[in-house]
A and B are shown apart, each in its own frame.
Chain A
C-alpha cells in the first residue's frame, strides 16, 4: 500500500497540485493572448483607417511601392499590409506578456534571447524590403532607359541591375543577422569583382568593334539620323 502510495498516488497528487496551481496562470495567459488578439484587431482597424485618411496607398503608388508589394505579397493594398503588420506586432507583444506571466524560467530565458535578437531580424527585414524596392525600381529604370536607347539587351541589363541590388541587400541582411559574416561578405566581394573583371574583359576583347562603333557614333553625327523636331 505504502509502495503504491509512494510511487503512484503521491506523484499524481503532486502533479495535480501543480496543475491546480498552474491552471489559473495558464488561464490568465490565455486571457492575455485573447486580449492581444482583440487589441491587435482594433489596432489594425485604427491604423488602416488612419493610413487611408493619410492617402498612404496613393503615396506608395507614387513611390512605386504599391506595385512591389502587390507583386511580392498577395495583392493587398499597402495600407492593409501595414495595418496587418502593426496588428501582428501588438499580438506578439501580448503573447510575450502571456508567456512571462507563466513564470517558466526556460521560456523566459528563450524569450529574452529572442527579444534581444529581434531588432536584428527587424533591421534585416527592413534591409531586404528596401533592397526589393530598390531592385525593382532600378531594374525598371534600367529597362526603360535601355529600351528608349534602342538597346536590344534591355531585359538582360535590367535583370542584372535588379539581381545586383538584391544580392547587395541580401549580403547586408545576412551580415545584420550575423550569419557567416565574413564568409558571405568575402564571397560577395570575390563574385562581384569577378563579374566586373569578366565584363571588362568581355567588352575589351570581345566588343572592340562595338566600342569603336560607339565612340565613332558619339564623335561623328550619323548622316542618316532623323531631323524631326518633336516640340
Chain B
C-alpha cells in the first residue's frame, strides 16, 4: 500500500514485539506537547481502571511536531496507579509514537492508526484528540466498552460544549447529516470516536487518502460511512469538551472547505442511501448526562458581520451562479443592517446550504472556489447565531438547533427532487 506506515522498520519491529492486542487507542497530533501528556495519562488510567486484563496499545501518529510531542508521549505516565485504583493493571500498556506518511492532516494520522489496528488484529479502537484538556479516564470506557461488548461498531461522542463552540457542526454538519441519513448523531465530527477492528479495516481499505478525508474531512467521513454502510452506531456522553483555544495552523476557509467538501462528496457516494431516507431517529446513547461549567468564548460579532458584508459586496457574481436571484437579493439586503441588528434567518441559511450542495453536485464551478465562497456566508450565519443566543442557556440553544434540524429535514424533499433531476440529465 502506498504511503503505508508499515514500511517503517521501527514500526515493523514494534509490531513484532507486541504481536497482538485487544484494544488500540490512537492519538493524532501536531505540536501538542503542552496538552498530549494529560491525554496519554487519562487514557493510561482509563485502560488500567476499566480494562485491566485486556492487552492494550497506545499509538501517537504525529504530523512532524517540532515541540517534542513524541517525547512527551513516550515519557507521560501516571505516577502511581495504585494511588488511583484499588485494582492495579496487570497487563502493561505498550505505546508507539511515530510520524505518519501521506498528506499532512488528521485523516492521514487516522489512516496510520487503522493500519496498526489491522496489523495487531484489535477488537476495539478509540481515537482521541491530542489538545483535550477535559478528557478523563472514563472516556476510555465510554468509547471502547460498547464496541468490546459486541453490541456496536461505532461510538460517536456526545459532549457538553459552549454554545458558541462547534459552529460548523451545529449549523451545517449535524443538521445536514441527520436530515440525509436519518440518524441523530449529535457530534458527527467530534473528533473522539470508538470503533471495532472490523470497521477500522473497512475504513482502511477505502481509496480516499488523497482527498479531503486525509485532512479535516476524516471525522464526517468515518461517521457517515459507518451509518451509510449499516454499521451499528451509538453515542456516548463524555461530559465537557474543553480543548486548546487554537487549532495550530487552522485556516477557517480551508477547514470549512475540507469538512463541507467531504460531506458533499459523501452525498455523491451515498446518494442511493440518503434519497430513500425519510425523517430521523435517535441513536442509542450511553453515559451519564450532567451539567458542566464551560469556559467563556470571546467573539467579535462586528468583525464577523463586516466579513459577511464584504462577501456580499464582492462575491455576488460568484454566488449568482450558485444561488437563485431571490436568495442573493435577500442576502444583499441583510448586509445593509447594522451589526447589532444583524439576523440571517434559519430558512435562508438552510436554503443556502442546500443550493451549495446542489451546485457541487452539478459542478457549476471549480469545487474549491465553490466551497471557499461559502465562508463569508457561514461567518454571517455564525454572527447571527451568536447575536440570537447571547442571553440563551445551553438548553435553549439546543432547542434552536433542533428547530434548524427540522428545517433541514423539511428542505430535504426539494433537495432530493433537484438532485434526481440533475442525475436524470
Binding site for B on A (CB under 8 A): 58-59, 61-64, 66-67, 137, 140-141, 143-148, 150, 152, 154-155, 224-231
The chain A residue sitting closest to B162, CB to CB, is: A229
Complex Cα spacing A230 to B379, Å:
10
Query: Do B298 and A226 have beta carbons less than 8 Å apart?
Result: yes
Of the residues A63, A141, A145, A231, contact of B169 by C-beta under 8 Å: A231
Which chain B residues border A230 with CB–CB below 8 Å?
A: 166-168, 252, 255-256
Complex Cα spacing A137 to B144, Å:
47
Question: A144: shortest Cβ distance to chain B, in Å?
Answer: 5
Query: Do A231 and B372 have beta carbons less than 8 Å apart?
Result: no
Scan B203-215; emit 1 where CB is below 8 A from any A CB, else 0. Answer: 0000000000000
Query: Do A61 and B310 have beta carbons less than 8 Å apart?
Result: no
Question: B205: shortest Cβ distance to chain A, in Å?
Answer: 26
Complex Cα spacing A61 to B372, Å:
17
Which chain B residues border A155 with CB–CB below 8 Å?
A: 314
Is B376 in contact with chain A by the CB < 8 A criterion? yes
Which chain B residues border A154 with CB–CB below 8 Å?
A: 310, 314
The chain A residue sitting closest to B422, CB to CB, is: A58
Query: Do B363 and A231 have beta carbons less than 8 Å apart?
Result: no
Query: Do A61 and B365 have beta carbons less than 8 Å apart?
Result: yes
Which chain B residues border A62 with CB–CB below 8 Å?
A: 363, 366-367
Top 8 A-B pairs, shortest CB-CB distance = A61-B363, A64-B366, A148-B253, A62-B363, A230-B168, A154-B314, A148-B375, A227-B298
Q: Which of A66, A145, A148 has the most CB of B within 10 A?
A: A148
Is B299 in contact with chain A by the CB < 8 A criterion? yes
Scan B315-332; emit 1 where CB is below 8 A from any A CB, else 0. Answer: 100100100000000000
Query: Do B169 and A147 have beta carbons less than 8 Å apart?
Result: no
Known: A147-B311, A147-B315. A228 touches B167 (CB 8 A): yes
Given A64-B366, A228-B164, list of 18 further CB < 8 A pairs? A61-B364, A61-B365, A62-B363, A62-B367, A140-B366, A144-B373, A147-B310, A148-B252, A154-B310, A224-B300, A225-B300, A227-B297, A227-B299, A228-B165, A229-B165, A229-B166, A229-B243, A231-B255
Listed A/B pairs (23) with beta-carbon separation below 8 Å: A61-B362, A62-B363, A62-B366, A62-B367, A63-B366, A64-B365, A64-B369, A141-B368, A144-B315, A144-B318, A144-B369, A155-B314, A225-B300, A226-B300, A227-B297, A228-B167, A228-B382, A229-B167, A229-B245, A230-B255, A231-B189, A231-B219, A231-B259
Complex Cα spacing A152 to B303, Å:
13
Complex Cα spacing A229 to B219, Å:
15
Is B287 in contact with chain A by the CB < 8 A criterion? no
Query: Do A143 and B300 have beta carbons less than 8 Å apart?
Result: no
The chain A residue sitting closest to B254, CB to CB, is: A148
Is B247 in contact with chain A by the CB < 8 A criterion? yes
Is B152 in contact with chain A by the CB < 8 A criterion? no
Query: Do A145 and B310 have beta carbons less than 8 Å apart?
Result: no
Which chain B residues border A147 with CB–CB below 8 Å?
A: 307, 310-311, 314-315, 375-376
